[in-house]
Amino acid sequence: MLLILRKMKQSYFAHQEFRKYLLYALGEMALVIIGILIALQIDNWNTNKLEQETLKNYLRTIARNIDSDLASVDQIRSERISAYERSVRWLNLTSRGSSYDVPELTFASRAIDQAATLRHFNASSSGYEALKSSGTLDEMQGTDIERLLYDYYDTVARIASKERDHNDLSRLLSLQVWARWPDEFDRWELASAHALTGNRIESLQPAFSQMLQDSATQELLASAQTVGPLLLEYDKLDRLGRVFRHLVKIDSAVLDETAIEILDGIHDPGGGLGQPKLVVDGQVSWHSHHLLNADANDPRVSYQASAAGLQSPFNFNSFQRVGDSLRIDYQGGAAWAGIWFGAGTNSSDRRSLDYSIYDRLLLELKGNVGGEQIVVNLEDRDDAADGTTTRLEIQLSDNWQTYEIDLAEFETADLSILSTPLGFVFFEEPVSFSVRTAEFVKAD
């Protein structure tokens, strides 16, 4: 019996020892597993941190590329706008005589050269291509900044396509102009008319008229006014680029209020809404508007004017940007005349857009001497061009003043189908004034 008890006691203690050993072994294993898991977690954290830092480096490189892009776009846009405005001033506002003075010849030469110049925007895409090849692009999936980046480079592709089409047209038209250039004078004589003698200029008047009124020259100059869609893409690229740089700077993948405000300024004419900003710091929004003008002295308007040989009340200096304002000089002498801003980028379809969400028209104006009376009007697509639309008269000061006009005062204008969102109408008396701002706004 004692032997049995002794064996049982020994077995019990052996079992306890094994249990202790097993618990110790399990504890050691648990510590090893926990250590491994912690090490893996740290490794994953380090890997994620490294990937995030790598992604940030790529984004910073892209932001630097975009800096270069936006500087290039700004330059090209300025050049295209300059060519556009020279074309408008020459084709719409030059005198309708058969002879040209030195300033007109010099201006025409510059307008032709600008219309013929080929311009290319080449985006700096090295950072974006490196990001796509790196495999870290997935880290951005589904974020605002990813969508922004795709939209930016989609816009780059559209610009390349539109520029290619426009440059092809400019190249074709300029070749036609050079091929039909009169033998009587060299190209430098048009550009440097100031260096010619009076007799030489007089003798060349028929050749100057032949060249400047030739259909190829007219088409080349008119082609400079077809860049509205391109200007719209430039503006979109500028806004997308500025927002991307902003998000990289604040280290965020999510749009904030500043970003949203910038993006809200992108105009989509396909939506049917009118662009509210017509003139900003004297610059016409050519990406969304075009210029129309007419007067009672135009022989194309009136047979009596043609028979009487009346002079145009405008010249190429009647409409020009000076500093931060748009200067309009009406020389007078016509029973009526007008300069209007049409909705859309061309005048061929008398397009109408919706401005009914706005309540007021804000104009920042200044008279040349003060006391000038100007007449403002708006027209919808159903209005007849017979002077029956509502016209409002404004008296100007020789200092800048802001005028806020209740759009309800334009009683004849249906704001939902405006084809002419702003016009200035003139009569016999000459008037000179400047426009710094013209904008549709909503009531607070």
Domain stops at, among 247, 266, 285:
266
Does residue 12 form part of some domain? no
Query: What is the domain range of residue 190?
Result: 23-266
H or E element that contains 117: none
Q: Which of 5-19, 335-349, 394-408 has the lowest mean pLDDT?
A: 5-19
Q: What is the pLDDT of residue 30?
A: 64
Domain match, 246 and 300 both: no
- Structure-block tokens of residue 233: 């893409």
Domain stops at, among 266, 296, 330:
266
Give residue 275's identity as a one-letter amino acid code.
Q
Mean pLDDT of 12-29: 62
Domain match, 317 and 262 both: no
3-class DSSP assignment, residue 285 = coil
* Helices 102-116, 198-212: inter-axial angle, 10-degree rounding: 40
Could you read off the pLDDT of 276-291 as tens digits, one per residue? Answer: 999 999 999 999 999 9
Count of domains in the chain? 2
The pTM of this model reads 0.86
DSSP lists the bridge partners of residue 342 as: 290
Could you read off the pLDDT of 143-159 as tens digits, one per residue? Answer: 999 999 999 999 999 99
Q: What is the pLDDT of residue 49?
A: 56
Q: What is the pLDDT of residue 298?
A: 83
Domain match, 280 and 227 both: no
- Pairwise CA distance, residues 87 & 85, whole Å: 5
Does residue 2 form part of some domain? no
- Pairwise CA distance, residues 322 & 222, whole Å: 23
Could you read off the pLDDT of 391-420 as tens digits, one per residue? Answer: 999 999 999 999 999 999 999 999 999 999
Does residue 422 form part of some domain? yes
Q: What angle do CA 263, 269, 271 make, to 5 degrees?
A: 85
Does residue 295 form part of some domain? yes
Q: What is the pLDDT of residue 177?
A: 97
DSSP per-residue letters across 325-378: EEEEEE---SS-EEEEEEESS-SSS---BB-TT--EEEEEEEESSS--EEEEEE
Mean pLDDT of 208-219: 95
Tell me the CATH number at 311.
2.60.120.430
200 CB contacts (<8 Å, ≥6 apart)? 189
Q: What is the pLDDT of residue 374?
A: 95
25 pLDDT tier (thresholds 50, 70, 90): low
Domain match, 94 and 193 both: yes
pLDDT at 48 > cutoff 70: no
Q: What is the pLDDT of residue 16?
A: 63
DSSP lists the bridge partners of residue 433 as: 328, 367
33 C-beta neighbours (distance < 10 Å), count: 10
83 pLDDT tier (thresholds 50, 70, 90): very high
Domain match, 260 and 304 both: no
The answer to whether residues 334 and 428 touch, using CB atoms and an 8 Å cutoff, is yes
Q: What is the pLDDT of residue 372?
A: 94
Domain match, 133 and 262 both: yes
**Furthest CA-CA distance within the chain:** 149
Average pLDDT over all residues of the chain: 88
Domain match, 201 and 332 both: no
Q: What is the pLDDT of residue 4?
A: 55
Q: What is the pLDDT of residue 132?
A: 86
Domain match, 92 and 178 both: yes
Domain stops at, among 266, 298, 322:
266
The answer to whether residues 353 and 428 touch, using CB atoms and an 8 Å cutoff, is no
34 pLDDT tier (thresholds 50, 70, 90): low
The distance from CA 115 to its chain's CA centroid, rounded to whole angstroms, is 19
Q: Which of 28-42, 95-109, 169-183, 369-383 has the lowest mean pLDDT?
A: 28-42
Burial (CB < 10 A; 0-12, 13-18, 19+), residue 359, is middle
> Is the model more confident about 255 or about 29?
255
Q: What is the pLDDT of residue 326?
A: 97
Of the chain, the percentage scoring pLDDT greater than 70 comes to: 85
pLDDT at 123 > cutoff 60: yes
H or E element that contains 135: none
Q: What is the pLDDT of residue 255?
A: 95
Mean pLDDT of 235-262: 96
DSSP per-residue letters across 35-49: HHHHHHHHHHHHHHH
pLDDT at 336 > cutoff 60: yes
Does residue 6 form part of some domain? no
Q: What is the pLDDT of residue 250?
A: 95
3-class DSSP assignment, residue 212 = helix
The answer to whether residues 251 and 271 touch, using CB atoms and an 8 Å cutoff, is no
